[in-house]
Amino acid sequence: MKRSTPLCRHIGGKVRFFRKKRGMTQEELAARLQTRGCNITRAMVGHIETGYRTASVFEIDMLVEVLGIDYNALFARD
C-alpha cells in the first residue's frame, strides 16, 4: 500500500514518539481520545503513526491535548 502522507509532512512518527514516551499503547491512546469525543480506533491510530491515514484538525487538537504537547512539538521538522 502506498503511503498517503509525504514523509516531509509526516507527523505520525512524532505521535508514536510521544505516545511511547508517555508509556501508552495505541489502544490506550485511542481510548483516551474517545473519552474526549474523538471517534478513533486503535487501527486508526496505527495508520496515523505509519502515514497511511491523515489526521483531521479535530484529531490533531485532541492528540495534542491527550499527549500533553504543544503544536510546535508535533509539527517541528526534524
Residue 11 near residue 62, CB atoms below 8 Å: no
Residue-level pLDDT at 77: 77
Residue 59 near residue 38, CB atoms below 8 Å: yes
Residue-level pLDDT at 8: 55
- 7-75: CATH number: 1.10.260.40
* Structural domain boundaries in the chain: 7-75
Mean pLDDT by 10 residues, the chain (78 residues): 57 95 98 97 97 94 97 85
pTM (2 d.p.): 0.86
Q: Output the DSSP codes for 18-78.
A: HHHHTT--HHHHHHHHHHTT----HHHHHHHHHTSSPPPHHHHHHHHHHHT--HHHHH---
Residue-level pLDDT at 10: 77
